[in-house]
Amino acid sequence: MAQASRPFYRTLYFQVLVGIALGILVGWLHPAFGQSLKPLGDGFIKLVKMIITPVIFLTVVTGIAGMSDLKAFGRVGAKAMAYFLTFSTLALAVGLIVANIVRPGDGLHIDPATLDQGAVGNYVKAAQERTITEFVLHMIPDTAISAFTSGEILQVLFIAILFGVALALIGERGEKLLGTLRTLTAVVFRMVHILMYAAPIGAFGAMAFTIGEYGIGTLANLAGLIVTFYVTSLLFVVVVLGLVARAAGFSLFALIRYIKDELLLVLGTSSSESAMPLLMEKLERSGCPKPIVGLVVPTGYSFNLDGTNIYMCMAALFIAQATDTPLTLADQLLLMAVAILSSKGAAGVTGSGFIVLAATLSVVPAVPVAGMALILGVDRFMSECRALTNFIGNAVATIVVARWERAVDLDRLHAAFRGEGGAFTERESDALQIEGRSDVPV
């Protein structure tokens, strides 16, 4: 309630919006100066990434250790992965269908041999290092400490699950440590709020660099692809995720209003990771139990990337159409099958979608990898949409999984969306857990 009484100019939403607007203006009027502001955006993202690993570790450990039924945690994981696989595949199919209908690359008639392959060489090299086997093995850190120093989300999640289960199994002997970890969790989330004071500056620097580096005029060259991608992502969010939210008993638009501060932060920085700690905190405040939030949100950042999936299929077909490369139905289904696998593990950081696209095209020889040079200049402008779609998708997934587990009270959820009520205390969260609180229509 205190948040609602604050003047609008003191809210994160307004301040980040001002930062984005000023960034666009500076980048447009003074491109060179705008490019020089890149460290502001990079520095803020580094600040947030610094705090992400302790947030994930502490949230998962305290959530699991406070559970009375460890079997329920495995059940939540299975349901979350089933949800991720279903909607990631659906997003790929949507991107494929729309690209075939709209055909934004038709008429360009570009010879792949004339493209600068060196411009995408680094992305192709990075993609070649991301085989499925290496990705799975990479989830296991070299040491327990290296998981935290490297900042790898899935590695930290792996260690946190092991530690939380072990702490739960030793019973009363672990209560004192669990209490300490809960206190440390409160401290870390307070650090998150302190870091958010720098969010408007980070958004300003990132947006000034983007406009200064690439210019607003560059959008006109590939406007068809960009508009098609944005409209498709919007329809996916409103129609597909909207229907999923309605089936789960809540309004997608109410959820979007609830996380509007975080969405603007994602828009300004082009990174969904920049708002991950705040999203986890808000989902817990809305009534989703800590174990579900701690498992679904970090895992979703690697396995539930709706925006990235739409982008991959659409960009691949755009390249094929622009280079007059014919693709049969079998070629397109192969492309989709490879994308289902290669998209897993793409982090919510600017540029990762481009690397995953390179990995996909490297396996599907029908589409020339050199064609990625066509969209390199405007990829940054599409990364914002990818990040926003991924972010909303993960928020919806967390609430839906919590509803499947009968673990979230709808009255409290709706009250939180309206800005009423407060966060769960640690004891309330542990009492609720994932054993069932309300009827679920899904």
- Cβ neighbours of residue 309 under 8 Å, at least 6 residues apart? 88, 89, 91, 92, 95, 339, 343
Residues 396, 398, 400, 403: is their CA dihedral positive or negative? negative
Question: For residues 389 and 16, what is the distance between their CA atoms, to the nearest angstrom?
Answer: 19
Q: Residue 189: pLDDT above 50?
A: yes
Kindly write down the DSSP assignment for every residue of 271-283, as one continuous string: -GGGGHHHHHHHH
pLDDT of residue 134: 64
Question: For residues 56 and 347, what is the distance between their CA atoms, to the nearest angstrom?
Answer: 15
The hierarchical CATH code for the domain 2-432 is 1.10.3860.10
Indicate the range of 15-19, 238-242, 374-378 predicted with least confidence: 374-378
Q: Alpha helix (H) ranges present in 196-289?
A: 199-214, 223-235, 242-247, 252-258, 260-269, 276-285
Average pLDDT rounded to a whole number, residues 203-214 = 78
Per the structure block, which two tokens stand in for 251? Answer: 């309004």
Q: What's the start-to-end Cα distance of the chain, in Å?
A: 31
Q: Which amino acid is at 355?
A: I
Question: For residues 132 and 147, what is the distance between their CA atoms, to the nearest angstrom?
Answer: 19
Angle at 392 between CA 391 and CA 394, to 5 degrees: 65
**279 and 394 Cβ atoms separated by less than 8 Å:** yes
Average pLDDT rounded to a whole number, residues 107-134 = 57
Q: Residue 85: pLDDT above 70?
A: yes
pLDDT in tens, 191-202: 877 887 887 888
Question: For residues 183 and 143, what is the distance between their CA atoms, to the nearest angstrom?
Answer: 26
Annotated domain spans of the chain: 2-432
112: nearest Cα among 291, 370, 315, 340: 370
pLDDT of residue 426: 45
- Residue 216 to residues 22, 27, 31, 388, 425, Cα–Cα distance (Å): 14, 9, 10, 20, 47
Average pLDDT rounded to a whole number, residues 338-351 = 57
pTM for the model: 0.70
- Cβ neighbours of residue 435 under 8 Å, at least 6 residues apart? 68, 69, 72, 406, 407
Q: Number of C-alpha atoms within 13 angstroms, CB side, residue 54?
A: 16
Average pLDDT rounded to a whole number, residues 61-78 = 74
Per the structure block, which two tokens stand in for 272? Answer: 């969904």
Q: Residue 32: pLDDT above 70?
A: yes
Kindly write down the DSSP assignment for every residue of 324-383, as one continuous string: T----HHHHHHHHHHHHHHTTT--SSTTHHHHHHHHHHHH-TTS-GGGGHHHHTTHHHHH
pLDDT of residue 206: 79
Q: Residue 182: pLDDT above 80?
A: yes
Question: For residues 91 and 313, what is the distance between their CA atoms, to the nearest angstrom?
Answer: 9
